[in-house]
Every structure is written in structure tokens, then in C-alpha cells.
A = this chain, B = another copy of it.
């Protein structure tokens, strides 16, 4: 049996394994990034054209591409519908970008921490990841410049708005600084924004893609966090030099994105009922975030540090007394509590012990205190054991 060399780098999807284990109804899960079921919109299939059952174009439905381009232009990204590629979920943009850029040993820039599933996809293709530490208002620009000066990374993969896992939103200044550096060193930007619309406080910041003058770029988004994860409809918008390659890679991957899901997305994006739905979603999640913050203050005040996220779906906790949080999973699951260890979100996990990611969108408020109390107890017990060892 001779597999490809690539398969030696194929890791299990820790998130999906924890999610599978957390399916039992008695488990209080802070692990996933699942939308609240109560907020999934009701689907209306009236008017679905019969033609949506036939093969479609690889680029995506024309009306959907027009809408996505219009939405991006409203965010300051100068683009046309011809630059929009509809995808089978935005995860697919990571696969296509990896195919476009990554050979074994190709250097790329990622945030530290960064999105786990992106890290795994890029590493599967053989990338060497250069990490730029995330600070409260964006990446460490000196560290980014140092990487760009010393190496020639193929691209920088960044999640500037309510980052998964850290919750960080880059300031306007940080965005301008990143754009200037990528232009200066002619490095492609891959900007991932699934959480942009999940904003709970005042404040707004424009995408980095719209600030670039010369560098190539891929901007990616999804309807999974705001509408319908199950239809698997995401998209990318790319600078014209990259688009033809990405289109061909899409064709080789799965021909085109399912049209029934695209049609559903078209019924919502750009409409008043979508704006109303987003308003309700923000209120709902804002309440859950505030409830989580109150519960964290009660159970974790002496145990960890964190910022209150202004959007997205996660709290990111840094333990005051570091411990490899992966070692806590079994004990927590035995207590019917699931969470995401923070180490795998770093390109060098062993160097970053002691963080955890807690989702606040999915656990019902009345179980929040019990879940966090149990988790705090598991952590305290492990820390005591570590201190005694």
C-alpha cells in the first residue's frame, strides 16, 4: 500500500471528532461553532425553478454572483461579478488556495492563533507556516514585516474580523498597516470573513482586500454563520489574475456548487427579510455572549484572562497558570462538558499551552453556569495535580 507523501501529514479533524463526541444530549458543548438551531430561518421553496436540478456553471448562479459582488463593493472591495466564485462552503476556498500556491516546503504567513481547519489544510499540502502573533487590535506588524523581509511567503492567510478562535477584530490602523506591507512585498492576501455580520457592538472596519493597491487577493465568505450551514454555500472573490486558476481548480474539485443551496441563498442576500434576520441574530447572540461573560466572571475570574469579543461566536481564554489543555479533554468529557483546546490553533502547538476556545452561541443559557463550573473544576484539579507533580 503506497499512499501519497501528503497523507503522512493528514491529521484528524479534532473539531469534528469533539463535535461527534459531544452529540450526546447531556453534553454541554462549548466546542463547536454551530449556529443556534432556534435561529435557523424557515425555508420557503415556492418558485424554485426546475432548471436548478440540471447541471450549472462552475462559477455559480449569475444572480448570486451579482449580489455577492455588490455586497463586497459596499464594503470597499472594488470588484465585479466576474470575480466571484461560488463554493461548496468557504472551507473549499482553503483547499483551492492550497492547490494554487502550496508545494512541499512553501512558506505562508498565518496568525498565531489561526483557524484550525485552515492550518490543517495548508499543512496537508506541505506548507511551512510562519506565525504572526495576534494582539488585541490585530497582528504584530513588526513580526509580519520581519517574515516578509526574510522569507518569500506565497500568501498571508488572515481573519481580520472576529477571528476564530481569538475573537480579535483588527483596528483600521492594523488593516492599513497589513495592506501596505503586502503591497510592499507583493504577497497575496487571503482574507477570511465568515463572522463579519455577527457584530454585537458599535464599530466597523473595512476589509483589507479593498485597501490593497497592487498585491493579489482572495476574499472569502459564507452564508453558514448567518443563514444555513447545511446548504454548504460559500464564496470567494479574487483579483483578476488569480480567478481563472481558481475556477479551473474548482472544476477539478467538484464541477460546481449545488444549485438548490445557491437558490436559497439568493432568496435572502440583499433583501429586507435578510437584514431583519441579521438584526434578530445579533440580538440573540449578543444576549448569549453577555450571559457567557457574566458566567465566566463568576467561574473563571481567578483562573484565566480574556477579552469580551465584539462579534463572532467565541471567547478565547488564556489560563493564568498554563497547562496543555488537550490533556483536560477526557476529564471534561467525563463531566459532560466539551470545549476546544487552544494548542491546535497554533502552527507550533507545544509552544502555546494554556488557551481554550469557548463557543457561546450553542449552549442554552440555563446550562451555562453548570457547564462552566464543571470546566473550571476540571482545570483547577489538573493544575493542582501538575503543581504537586
The chain A residues found within 8 Å of chain B, CB to CB, are 1-7, 10-13, 16, 20, 32, 34-35, 37, 40-43, 45, 48, 50-58, 87-89, 91-92, 94-95, 99-103, 106, 117, 120-121, 124-125, 152, 154, 186, 188, 216, 224, 228-233, 241, 245, 248-249, 251-261, 264
Contacts and interface: CB of A to CB of B under 8 A. Distances in A.
Nearest to A152: B2
Give the oligomeric copy count. Answer: 2
A43 B48 contact: yes
Given A3-B101, A16-B58, A231-B259, A51 B34 contact: no
A198 to B, nearest CB: 16
The 5 A-B pairs with the shortest beta carbon distances in the complex, nearest first, are A230-B259, A232-B258, A45-B45, A55-B229, A13-B251
B248 A232 contact: no
B50 A37 contact: yes
Nearest to A263: B230
Contacts of A259: 230-232
The winner among A41, A117, A216, A257 for most chain B CB atoms within 10 A is A257
A251 B256 CA distance: 18
Contact of A12 (B2, B241, B248): B248
29 contacts: A1-B241, A2-B101, A2-B152, A4-B106, A6-B99, A7-B99, A7-B245, A10-B248, A10-B249, A13-B252, A16-B255, A35-B54, A37-B51, A40-B54, A41-B53, A43-B48, A52-B230, A54-B230, A55-B230, A87-B254, A88-B257, A89-B254, A89-B255, A92-B253, A92-B254, A94-B252, A95-B254, A117-B255, A230-B258
A255 B54 contact: no
Contact of A4 (B13, B45, B87, B100): B100
A221 to B, nearest CB: 15
A225 to B, nearest CB: 10
Contact of A121 (B55, B92, B252): B252
Nearest to A216: B1
A91 B253 contact: yes
A385 to B, nearest CB: 33
Contact of A88 (B102, B103, B228, B254): B254
Nearest to A58: B16
Given A20-B57, A43-B48, A256 B232 contact: yes
B42 A103 contact: no
B3 A100 contact: yes
A12 B231 CA distance: 28
A1 B43 CA distance: 44
Contacts of A13: 58, 248, 251-252
